[in-house]
Amino acid sequence: MNKIYNIFLDNIKIGTTQFEKADAPMGIVFGLIDFIDSKFGYDFIKSYCLKNQIDIVADYPENKLISTTSIKGLKVTNTNGVEIKGSGNQIDGMDSEGFEIIIEGISYPFYGEEFSNHVKEEKNRYKNKK
């Protein structure tokens, strides 16, 4: 069973994620965002980035697709309220297919403790290649 993580933007809960994907050696987790309200999508994210001078890496308004650089006001916590801190974070996606949140550069040993399932998967993948 995957853990549920709460996503906050400027201390307002906007959704959750399960961080179902990872690059454990790099300290990266990412997962689909389950927004708590349909207003949190392309238009909201783009408006927030423009208002807060956050660089947008890719923007395709016709497809409502956006990719951001790191968003300072974006915070993710586990069920105990502990923040998942990394060197950067971003949101990528589109209205029709959903959005992902990515946190990169999460330090060890915290990464190994919080995301032990991803570390175990990585070790098994490596072990099976020998």
Alpha-carbon dihedral angle through residues 113, 114, 115, 119, given to the nearest 10 degrees: -10
Q: What is the secondary structure of 29-83 as a DSSP string?
A: EEEE-EESSTTSSHHHHHHHHHHTT--EEEEETTTTEEEE---TTEEEE-TTS-B
pLDDT of the residue at 98: 96
Q: Quote the pTM value.
A: 0.92
Six-digit token string for 116: 């032990």
pLDDT of the residue at 82: 97
Residues β-bridged to residue 2: none
**Per-10-residue mean pLDDT, the chain, length 130:** 91 96 94 96 97 97 97 96 96 97 97 91 73
